[in-house]
Amino acid sequence: MKPNNLKVVHYINQFFGGIGGEDMAHVGPMVKEGPVGPGQGIANALGDLGEIVATVVCGDNYFAENIEKASGEVLGLISPLQPDVVMAGPAFNSGRYGIACGAVCRAVIKQLGIPAVTGMHGENPGLDLYRRDVYIIETAESVMGMADALSRMVPFAIKLAAHKDVGRPSEEGYFPCGLLLNETADETGAARVVALLMKKLRGEPFDSEVTCPQYDRVNPAPMIQDIQQARIALVTDGGLVPKGNPDRIEIRTATRFGTYDIKEVDSLNPDDFEVSHEGYDSVFVREDPNRLVPVDVLRDLEKEGKIGKLHESFYSTTGVANIVDTMRSLGKAIAAELKAGGVSGVILTST
């Protein structure tokens, strides 16, 4: 034990844990003694202040596909170790890893009452999921930023373990978590806002006290000129999947989509489909999948000559508790396939 006895438990995925790559992403949680992988850097940064008493390793797929179960299993491994602080990652821009790191930290904080910190890139889907519950240090996009990330995560973890006051996000390097704290200022709000406005008008750098949300502006697609010649595709975020969910689409916070053949299908058979989606009552969809993905109606329109052709596949994902950046990437991937398939228009259905 190091002189100051600070006990750290570190959470990492199968890759950084030295177990393997994607071929081992299915492995469940396990404990390794002492620092492993990036934990060596944490140990060096801790110096004589403390040590990593254990490293918990879990496969990215295992965790992402069983978030609640995996969180409980990881807590079961961490709790007997009685750490002063838990560190996870950093996950950089790895989505599944980021979700796991955030979930572990949140569970540790809420259920064990132990402080925790992780690190991610600003586009990691785990950021928006967990930033209100967990301190997340901003990192580079890739593992090339490991040294820089650990140089900020370790002092922050030490501060959390000592129960010291945490400074502003701009001072500590973590992403804002939406907390509003009362402070005494030397100037009134009116004076401060005028000073910020003058800096903006002069082109000088300034930091706003309020972060403004950024919204996409999406221009409407041009109208289909000849609908009777158009190839129409069906896309849904209602989570309709073939029985057995072969693509393992998550019930929430989806990271993937499925493509399902309807080339010779006039109507979707409820015996062939299920719903992978929480947050709505799917009983009516399970009774008749055409209520969500209206293959039957589109086939009728095709036979009546009111549309040119129904595309031979429909696309499905889950639209609950999703991250905008993840959905944007899935949308681009689906759009690329639709364009390659000569699709003229898309009917989007939801819950």
Q: Concatenate the DSSP letters of all residues of 302-334 into one string.
A: HHTTSSSEEEEEEEE-B-SS--HHHHHHHHHHH
* Predicted pLDDT of residue 304: 96
Structure tokens at 20: 């393997």
Final residue of a structural domain among 172, 189, 219: 172
Higher pLDDT, 218 or 300: 300
Considering the domain architecture, whether residues 162 and 240 belong to the same structural domain is answered as no
Mean pLDDT in residue range 310-324: 91
Considering the domain architecture, whether residues 159 and 232 belong to the same structural domain is answered as no
Considering the domain architecture, whether residues 167 and 269 belong to the same structural domain is answered as no
Contacts of residue 336, defined as CB under 8 A and 6 or more positions apart, other chains included, come to none
Considering the domain architecture, whether residues 154 and 232 belong to the same structural domain is answered as no
- Domain-located, residue 91: yes
| Spatial distance between the Cα atoms of 250 and 223, rounded to a whole number of angstroms | 34
- Domain-located, residue 81: yes
Structure tokens at 287: 């009774």
- Domain-located, residue 95: yes
Considering the domain architecture, whether residues 250 and 329 belong to the same structural domain is answered as yes
Token look-up 């969180």 returns: 71
- Domain-located, residue 210: no
What's the start-to-end Cα distance of the chain, in Å?
55
Question: What is the 8-class DSSP label of residue 270?
Answer: G
* Predicted pLDDT of residue 3: 47
pLDDT band at residue 267 under the 50/70/90 scheme: very high
Considering the domain architecture, whether residues 88 and 231 belong to the same structural domain is answered as no
Higher pLDDT, 251 or 4: 251
* Predicted pLDDT of residue 151: 95
Percent of the chain at pLDDT > 70 equals 97
- Domain-located, residue 88: yes
- Residue type at 191 in one-letter notation: A
- Residue type at 67 in one-letter notation: I
Contacts of residue 297, defined as CB under 8 A and 6 or more positions apart, other chains included, come to 290
Q: How much of the chain is in helix, strand and coil states, percent to nearest 5?
A: 40, 20, 40
Per-residue pLDDT tens digits for 150-203: 999 999 999 999 999 888 888 899 998 877 777 788 889 899 999 999 999 999
Final residue of a structural domain among 172, 205, 235: 172
CA 10 to chain centre: 20
Per-residue pLDDT tens digits for 60-91: 999 988 899 999 999 999 999 999 999 999 99
| Spatial distance between the Cα atoms of 310 and 240, rounded to a whole number of angstroms | 18
Residue 141 sits in a domain whose CATH number is: 3.40.50.2300
pLDDT band at residue 1 under the 50/70/90 scheme: very low
Q: Would the pLDDT of 123 be above 70?
A: yes
Considering the domain architecture, whether residues 154 and 297 belong to the same structural domain is answered as no
Mean pLDDT in residue range 8-28: 94
Burial of 283 (0-12, 13-18, 19+ CB in 10 A): exposed
Considering the domain architecture, whether residues 27 and 156 belong to the same structural domain is answered as yes
* Predicted pLDDT of residue 79: 96
| Spatial distance between the Cα atoms of 305 and 327, rounded to a whole number of angstroms | 33
Considering the domain architecture, whether residues 36 and 146 belong to the same structural domain is answered as yes
**Looking at the 3D structure of the chain, how many domains does it have?**
2
Least confidently predicted of 65-69, 241-245, 263-267, 303-307: 65-69
Considering the domain architecture, whether residues 257 and 327 belong to the same structural domain is answered as yes
Q: Would the pLDDT of 15 be above 80?
A: yes
pLDDT band at residue 211 under the 50/70/90 scheme: low
Final residue of a structural domain among 172, 206, 237: 172
The dihedral built from the CA positions of residue 300, 263, 348 and 253, taken in this order, carries a sign that is positive
Considering the domain architecture, whether residues 323 and 258 belong to the same structural domain is answered as yes
- Domain-located, residue 56: yes
Considering the domain architecture, whether residues 65 and 143 belong to the same structural domain is answered as yes
Contacts of residue 232, defined as CB under 8 A and 6 or more positions apart, other chains included, come to 298, 307, 308, 309, 310, 311, 343, 344, 345, 346, 347
CA 66 to chain centre: 14
Range of the domain at 107: 6-172
In the predicted model, what is the mean pLDDT of the chain?
92
- Domain-located, residue 199: no
| Spatial distance between the Cα atoms of 302 and 308, rounded to a whole number of angstroms | 6
Least confidently predicted of 38-47, 82-91, 202-211, 252-261: 202-211
In this structure, the strands spanning 273-275 and 116-120 are: unpaired
- Domain-located, residue 195: no
CA angle 16, 17, 23 (to 5 degrees): 85
Q: Would the pLDDT of 206 be above 50?
A: yes
